[in-house]
C-alpha cells in the first residue's frame, strides 16, 4: 500500500513538474510584457524598459523552472533552470525583434519631402519651428495678409502645388499670401512633448505668427481641419480677423461627432484600399505603440520615432487621398505631402477639453465669412451647415463636380469665389440658402 501511495505521489509530482516547466516559458514572457508596461507608467526610456522586462522574464522563468526541475529530477535544478531562463529571454528577444521592434519602414524607404527653394522658418516663443512660404503682393494695395491654413491634423501644404498655385494668385490682387505647415507636420518642426499636438497649440502658434509679421488683422482661408483652426482662432481673437473663408470645413467640436454622423474619407475608398489600410494598422509595432500611448505618451514617442512614424502614416494615408476628389484620378500620386504621425493621432487619442463656448463666440461675430461646400465632399452636409447657421454674416456656395479638396477639379472657380469675396465683387455662383443639401 505504501509503495502504491509513494508511486502515485511521484507520478503526481512528475506531472505537476512537467506542467510547471512548460508554463515557466509563457509565464516568463507574459511577465516581460506586464513589467514593461507597468514600469512605463514611471519610465520612458525604451532600452531601460526593455532591460527590466528581460530581467523580470528571466527571474520568473528561472524560478518556476527551478521548482519544476526539483519536482522532476530533484537534482541539478539551478543549472537546468538557468538554461530555461536564458532560453526564454532569447525567445523574447527574438520574437520582439521580429514583431514590435521590427521597423515598419526600411531606412531606404524613409520619405524625404520636397523642400521648395523659397521656404523660410519662424521660431516661435512657444517652441514651435514653423516652415512657411510667402508670396509678396505684386503691388501692395491690401493691408491685411492672407493666410492659408491646411487640413489635418498632421497635414501639410508647402510642397502641395495644387493648393499653393491657386491661392498664391491672390498676390496679384495686392495681398501678401502666406502658407505654413502647422507644427508636427510637413516641413515644420516636431515637438518633444507630443501631448502638445492640440488645436489650442495651433491657435496660439497662429497668433504668434501674426505678431511675428506685425499684422493687426489677417484674412484666414481654412481648408478641412484648417477651417476648424480658422474658426476657433476667429472665436478666440475676433479683433485680429478681417475676413474668413472656410473650404470643406471639418467639425467645429469633434467630440460631438463620430465617423457615421461626420463622414469619413474611408467612405469613398474601395474595399481593396480599406483592406490595405486595416492591414497596416494591425501590425504588432503599431498596436504596441498605441497601447504604450495609453500608459505613457513619452515612452510611446521614444518607441516610435518621428521619422519612421511620419513615413508610415504618409504611406498609410496615400491610398485614401483619391477620396479628396470627385474623380480619384484627379488627386496627384506624387503629391509630396508628409503627414505627421503624432500630430495626427494625439488630438483623437489624447483629446484636450474642447471650448464649448466657441459656438456662442462665433454667433456673436459680424465679420464676413465665405463657406465653400463641394458636391463630393466626404464630410456630411451638416458639418458645413453648422458654420452657416452659427455665423450670421456668412455666405455658402455649393460647388458641383468637386470633392473635399476642390482646388483639384475646380481651381478657377475656387479662386474666383475667394477673390470676388475678398474684393466685394459679385460672386461667380448664387448663394445657397437651403438648410438641406442639393438633390443629386
The last residue of a domain, from among 49, 64, 98: 98
| Together in a domain, 293 and 402 | yes
The last residue of a domain, from among 98, 133, 157: 98
User: Is residue 155 in some structural domain?
Assistant: yes
User: Is residue 109 in some structural domain?
Assistant: no
| Together in a domain, 152 and 87 | no
* pLDDT score for 70: 80
> Tens-digit pLDDT profile for the chain (440 aa)?
465 666 667 777 778 878 888 999 999 999 999 999 999 999 999 999 999 999 999 999 999 988 887 877 766 678 888 999 999 999 999 999 999 999 888 888 888 888 899 999 999 999 999 999 999 999 889 999 999 999 999 999 999 999 999 999 999 999 999 999 999 999 999 999 999 999 999 999 999 999 999 999 999 999 999 999 999 999 999 999 999 999 999 999 988 888 788 888 888 877 777 887 787 778 899 999 999 999 999 999 999 988 899 998 888 888 888 888 888 887 877 777 899 999 999 999 999 998 889 999 999 999 999 999 999 999 999 999 999 999 999 999 999 999 999 999 999 999 999 999 999 999 999 999 998 888 76
| Together in a domain, 90 and 142 | no
* pLDDT score for 228: 98
Are 104 and 312 contacting, i.e. CB atoms less than 8 angstroms apart? yes
| Together in a domain, 81 and 135 | no
| Together in a domain, 50 and 190 | no
User: Is residue 436 in some structural domain?
Assistant: no
User: Is residue 107 in some structural domain?
Assistant: no
**Closest of 114, 26, 15 to residue 68, by C-alpha:** 15
Peptide bond preceding 293 in cis form (omega within 30 of 0) = no
* pLDDT score for 144: 97
DSSP run (H or E) holding 8: helix 2-40
Distance CA(402)–CA(395), nearest Å, equals 18
* pLDDT score for 300: 95
| Helix pair 341-349, 306-317: axis angle to 10 deg | 80
The last residue of a domain, from among 63, 98, 133: 98
| Together in a domain, 53 and 172 | no
Q: Are strands 146-149 and 177-180 parallel, antiparallel or unpaired?
A: parallel
| Helix pair 2-40, 284-295: axis angle to 10 deg | 70
| Together in a domain, 67 and 184 | no
Q: What is the pTM of this model?
A: 0.90
User: Is residue 428 in some structural domain?
Assistant: no
* pLDDT score for 319: 81
Whether the CA torsion 137, 166, 345, 101 is positive or negative: it is negative
- Print the domain residue range for 208: 120-422
**CA–CA distance from 430 to each of 244, 374, 427 (Å)?**
18, 14, 7
User: Is residue 431 in some structural domain?
Assistant: no
How deeply is 5 buried, as exposed, middle or buried, from its count of CB atoms within 10 A (0-12, 13-18, 19+)? Answer: exposed
**Residues 6 or more apart in contact with residue 211 via CB below 8 angstroms:** none
| Together in a domain, 81 and 170 | no
| Together in a domain, 152 and 49 | no
| Together in a domain, 193 and 296 | yes
CATH number at residue 207: 3.40.50.1820
| Together in a domain, 127 and 58 | no
Structural domains counted in the chain: 2
User: Is residue 429 in some structural domain?
Assistant: no
| Together in a domain, 73 and 204 | no
User: Is residue 103 in some structural domain?
Assistant: no
Identify each DSSP E strand in 185-257 by its residue range.
Answer: 218-223, 241-247
* pLDDT score for 119: 96
Amino acid at each position: 500500500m505504501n509503495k502504491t501511495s509513494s508511486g502515485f505521489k511521484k507520478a503526481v509530482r512528475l506531472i505537476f513538474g512537467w506542467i510547471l516547466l512548460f508554463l515557466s516559458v509563457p509565464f516568463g514572457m507574459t511577465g516581460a510584457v506586464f513589467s514593461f508596461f507597468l514600469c512605463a507608467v514611471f519610465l520612458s526610456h525604451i532600452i531601460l524598459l526593455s532591460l527590466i522586462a528581460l530581467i523580470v522574464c528571466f527571474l520568473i522563468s528561472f524560478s518556476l523552472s527551478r521548482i519544476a526541475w526539483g519536482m522532476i529530477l530533484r537534482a541539478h535544478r539551478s543549472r537546468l533552470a538557468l538554461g530555461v531562463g536564458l532560453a526564454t529571454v532569447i525567445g523574447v528577444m527574438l520574437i520582439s525583434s521580429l514583431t514590435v521592434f521590427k521597423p515598419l519602414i526600411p531606412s531606404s524607404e524613409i520619405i524625404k519631402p520636397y523642400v521648395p527653394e523659397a521656404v523660410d522658418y519662424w521660431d516661435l516663443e512657444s517652441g514651435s519651428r514653423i516652415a512657411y512660404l510667402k508670396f509678396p503682393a505684386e503691388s501692395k494695395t491690401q493691408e491685411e495678409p492672407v493666410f492659408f491654413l491646411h487640413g489635418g491634423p498632421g497635414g501639410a501644404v508647402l510642397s502641395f502645388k495644387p493648393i499653393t498655385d491657386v491661392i498664391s494668385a491672390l498676390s496679384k490682387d495686392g495681398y501678401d499670401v502666406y502658407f505654413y505647415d502647422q507644427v508636427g507636420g510637413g516641413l515644420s518642426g516636431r515637438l518633444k512633448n507630443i501631448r502638445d499636438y492640440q488645436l489650442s497649440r495651433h491657435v496660439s502658434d497662429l497668433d504668434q505668427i501674426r505678431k511675428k509679421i506685425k499684422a493687426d488683422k489677417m484674412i484666414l482661408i481654412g481648408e478641412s481641419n484648417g477651417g476648424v483652426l480658422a474658426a476657433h482662432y476667429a472665436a478666440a481673437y475676433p479683433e485680429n480677423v478681417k475676413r474668413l473663408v472656410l473650404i470643406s470645413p471639418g467639425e467645429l467640436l469633434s467630440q460631438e461627432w463620430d465617423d457615421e454622423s461626420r463622414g469619413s474619407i474611408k467612405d469613398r475608398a474601395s474595399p481593396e484600399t480599406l483592406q490595405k489600410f486595416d492591414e497596416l494598422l494591425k501590425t504588432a509595432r503599431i498596436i504596441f505603440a498605441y497601447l504604450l500611448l495609453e500608459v505613457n505618451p513619452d515612452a510611446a514617442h521614444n518607441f516610435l520615432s518621428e521619422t519612421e512614424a511620419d513615413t508610415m502614416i504618409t504611406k498609410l494615408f496615400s491610398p485614401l487621398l483619391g477620396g479628396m476628389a470627385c474623380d480619384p484620378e484627379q488627386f496627384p500620386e506624387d503629391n509630396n505631402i508628409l503627414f505627421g504621425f503624432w500630430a495626427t493621432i494625439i488630438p483623437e487619442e489624447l483629446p484636450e477639453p474642447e471650448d464649448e463656448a466657441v459656438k456662442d463666440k462665433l454667433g456673436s461675430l459680424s465679420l464676413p465669412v465665405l463657406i465653400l461646400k463641394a458636391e463630393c465632399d466626404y464630410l456630411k452636409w451638416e458639418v458645413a451647415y453648422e458654420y452657416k447657421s452659427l455665423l450670421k454674416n456668412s455666405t455658402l456656395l455649393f460647388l458641383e463636380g468637386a470633392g473635399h479638396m476642390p482646388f483639384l477639379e475646380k481651381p478657377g472657380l475656387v479662386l474666383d469665389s475667394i477673390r470676388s469675396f475678398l474684393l466685394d465683387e459679385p460672386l461667380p455662383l448664387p448663394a445657397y440658402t437651403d438648410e438641406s443639401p442639393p438633390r443629386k
